[in-house]
């Protein structure tokens, strides 16, 4: 799929999701997480085994991500795992930090460097504390911040198309 078509598809998705804000915000988050897998590049060392999406803490997103279980990202099968402690995080590709775990974002980000994980959070200021992507609500719409420096420190490349749709923060 060419880049212009990918950009158009994600733009349509974003606009469509904004229109249906009455849905659970976690359904919207799950849709974004699914599409992030197409616009983020992990290093070659992370392209074997299952594609693990870990949720740290208790969050409704775990239920919303369940339909992705068993689907694929490239040649990897998606596995959704709920994690109760930072020490239990292993070999994840994406780590979603539940709102109640915001204080642990910096520690999770440090651990994510060990296996090149994309850290996604949902709390104000989380992108400045170590998250690569952070969901925010602005004027009643769900948007996302991108901290490219954090992503670079995790050896992850976020596509320019996704960066155009996000809010750049450092």
**Residue 70 predicted with pLDDT over 80:** yes
> Residues 49, 75, 114, 86: what is their CA dihedral angle, to the nearest 10 degrees?
-70
Q: What is the rounded average pLDDT for all residues in the chain?
A: 90
Residue 22 banded pLDDT, cuts 50, 70, 90: very low
DSSP 8-state assignment for residue 161? H
Owning domain of residue 148: 3-168
Among the ranges given (20-34, 50-64, 113-127), the one the predictor scored with the smallest mean pLDDT: 20-34
Query: 17 or 170, which is more confident?
Result: 170
| pTM confidence score | 0.86
**What is the domain-level CATH number for residue 72?**
3.40.50
Domain count, the chain: 1
What average pLDDT does the segment 88-96 reach? 95
CB 138 within 8 A of CB 125: no
**Of 75, 76, 71, 74, nearest to 92 (Cα)?**
76
Please state the rounded mean pLDDT for residues 81-99: 93
- Say what the pLDDT of residue 128 is: 95
The model's pLDDT over 109-158, given as tens digits with 9 standing for 90+, comes to 999 999 999 999 999 999 999 999 999 999 989 999 999 999 999 999 99
Residue 1 CA to residue 120 CA, distance in Å, equals 26
């Amino acid at each position: 799929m060419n880049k212009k078509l990918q950009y158009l598809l994600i733009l349509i998705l974003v606009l469509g999701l904004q229109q249906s804000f009455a849905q659970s915000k976690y359904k919207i988050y799950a849709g974004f997480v699914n599409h992030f897998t197409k616009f983020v590049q992990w290093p070659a060392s992370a392209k074997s085994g299952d594609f693990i999406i870990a949720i740290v803490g208790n969050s409704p997103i775990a239920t919303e991500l369940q339909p992705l279980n068993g689907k694929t990202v490239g040649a990897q099968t998606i596995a959704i795992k709920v994690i109760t402690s930072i020490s239990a995080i292993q070999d994840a590709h994406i780590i979603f930090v539940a709102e109640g775990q915001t204080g642990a974002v910096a520690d999770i980000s440090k651990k994510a460097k060990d296996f090149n994980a994309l850290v996604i959070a949902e709390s104000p200021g989380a992108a400045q504390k170590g998250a690569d992507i952070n969901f925010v609500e602005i004027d009643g719409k769900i948007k996302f911040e991108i901290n490219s420096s954090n992503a670079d420190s995790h050896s992850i490349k976020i596509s320019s198309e996704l960066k155009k749709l996000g809010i750049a923060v450092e």
